[in-house]
Amino acid sequence: MKVLVSNIMMINERERFDGILRDHGLDPIWPEVNQFMDEAQCLSLAGNFDGWLAGDDQITEQVLKACLPRLKVISKWGTGVDSIDLEAAKTLRLPVCNSPGAFRDAVSEYAMGLLLTATRRLARTDRMIRQGEWPKGRYPGLSGKTMGVIGYGAIGQGVGQRARGFNMEIIAHDPFMQIAPDGAALVSFEDLLSQADVICLCCNQTDENYHLLNAAAFEQARDGVIVVNVARGGLIEEQALVAGLTSGKVAAAALDVFENEPLPMDHPLLSFENVAVSSHNANSTIEAIEFVHENTLENLFKHLAE
């Protein structure tokens, strides 16, 4: 049986996982991938493999149908499955597996680190010292401020837990939750905008919440709001964020994800000293990555053996 490997994390360790798959009697296919495969590239390979170790590939209904009847399972690397047409997969009775909750600690730790990098200019201070300077800045602290978390699943709750350690008050918006397991106050999106000093995005991206933080949302937000995004780039209308940073409405932004990745060198967000950027890598702990590697393979092997 053949297995398509299109997730970047395993591609980056191709020799290791090529050996593991072959030891299990499987024949891996290694396409050239730039972050993820678009629908056209998925279709060009469809029908030639029995299992799929997928990344953030555009797995549409058309792709799914083209992969059948040969494809037995899609084992998605990571937690997010918003790039897969799950309704179509369900209708077609094609199993889609992931690793829910695996990045709670890794991503929530990173969210707070990236937040501090943006607000306290940690990376900039490091660079200036290495250039022979000795800066003494004055920047906003976090203690006593309100953290508004959008999407209060495993990662959102992890952010809440850590923000409490900074003496922050936690409110959350999650339309799929009635009561927060940790007692956080659940509020409407509008109330979160009006109350939060820091807005942290931890939700999946859907058609309904695309550009959730747009010009209208920033207008409703508090003056000097700070934005953190460790979820998906399309949740923020980047032009509106740039406008907010320019006017001062947005005091700082900590961004691990963007609409177009890698981020172009001429992107206007890179011109702001109060913006911390990262490479869609908030899950980057050894422990979390190794767990997801193992779980993704186990999901694959289990379904191919049925």
- One of 124, 164, 169, 261 is an active-site residue; which one? 261
Predicted confidence (pLDDT) at residue 64 exceeds the cutoff of 90? yes
pLDDT at position 260 is 93
261 noted as active-site residue: yes
Model pLDDT for residues 79-137, shown as the tens digit of each residue? 989 999 999 999 999 999 999 999 999 999 999 999 999 999 999 999 999 999 999 99
pLDDT at position 211 is 98
Residues 226 and 137 in one domain: yes
Residues 166 and 270 in one domain: yes
Count of domains for the chain: 2
Predicted confidence (pLDDT) at residue 164 exceeds the cutoff of 90? yes
Cα separation, 232 vs 256, in Å, equals: 8
pLDDT at position 296 is 98
Q: What is the CATH number of the domain that holds 200?
A: 3.40.50.720
Task: Report the candidate in 236, 248, 229, 180 with the shortest Cα–Cα distance to residue 210.
Answer: 236
Residues 43 and 176 in one domain: no
CB 108 within 8 A of CB 154: no
273 falls in which pLDDT band (50, 70, 90)?
very high
- One of 121, 162, 280, 293 is an active-site residue; which one? 280
Model pLDDT for residues 251-266, shown as the tens digit of each residue? 999 999 999 999 999 9
93 noted as active-site residue: no
39 lies in which domain range? Answer: 2-100+286-304
Model pLDDT for residues 21-31, shown as the tens digit of each residue? 999 999 999 99
Model pLDDT for residues 187-226, shown as the tens digit of each residue? 999 999 999 999 999 999 999 999 999 999 999 999 999 9
What is the model's pTM? 0.90
306 falls in which pLDDT band (50, 70, 90)?
confident
Model pLDDT for residues 36-51, shown as the tens digit of each residue? 999 999 999 999 999 9
Share of the chain above pLDDT 70, in %: 100
- One of 232, 237, 238, 293 is an active-site residue; which one? 232
303 noted as active-site residue: no
Residue with the two structure tokens 């090529």: 18
Residues 18 and 86 in one domain: yes
Q: How would you class 24 by CB atoms within 10 Å of its CB: exposed for 0-12, middle for 13-18, buried for 19 or more?
A: middle
Task: For residue 294, give the DSSP letter.
Answer: H
Residues 170 and 79 in one domain: no
Residues 92 and 108 in one domain: no
Cα separation, 287 vs 109, in Å, equals: 13
CB 182 within 8 A of CB 108: no
Residues 223 and 235 in one domain: yes
Structure tokens at 210: 């695309």
